[in-house]
Copies of this chain bind each other. A is one copy, B any other.
Amino acid sequence: MIGDGCKIGAFVEIQRDVHLGRNVKVQPFAFIPSGVTIEEGAFIGPHVCFTNDLYPSAVGEDGELLTEAGWRLVPTHVGPRASIGANATILCGVTIGEGAMVAAGSVVTRDVPPHMLVAGVPARVVGRRPAGSVSVSGSGHGS
């Protein structure tokens, strides 16, 4: 389900059962698998990679491909007006709070509190999201 006013870049994969609120912007090369919910006005940077399985495997102990019956999806939630920077990796099961920001290149392994800025591998809180960054910053991220 993709809300009104969303802008989706080129080379993006959005799988079934993903929910995007209205006015979400998804930049090129983002990967958004089943189980991810993104609320309105969020920004998903280029090359952002979500996941939905903590310990993925191709095959079971018998060496054969796992089937849907083995499915155990772990959901992820992105709050309204959160911004996820370029090439960030989001482990499944986390909640990224309203208005939070994830710095480019971060690997998010646990919840991000609302309105905070996280950075690094693994991502840690480095402060509040800079004031005015929601209203001042341009849409200069292209497409």
Chain B residues with CB under 8 A of A49 = 29, 46-47, 86-87, 104
Out of B13, B57, B138, which one reaches A66, CB within 8 Å? B138
A97 to B80 CA separation, bound complex (whole angstroms)? 38
Report copies per complex.
3
Do A51 and B86 touch across chains, with their CB atoms under 8 A apart? yes
Out of B57, B83, B101, B140, which one reaches A81, CB within 8 Å? B57
A143 to B13 CA separation, bound complex (whole angstroms)? 10
Out of B41, B67, B121, B143, which one reaches A59, CB within 8 Å? B41
Selected A-B contacts with CB under 8 Å, 6 pairs: A5-B65, A11-B13, A15-B142, A25-B58, A40-B63, A86-B89
Binding site for B on A (CB under 8 A): 5, 7, 9-11, 13, 15, 23-25, 27-29, 31, 33-35, 40-43, 45-47, 49-61, 63-68, 70-74, 81, 83, 85-87, 89, 91, 101, 104-105, 107, 120-121, 129-130, 133-143
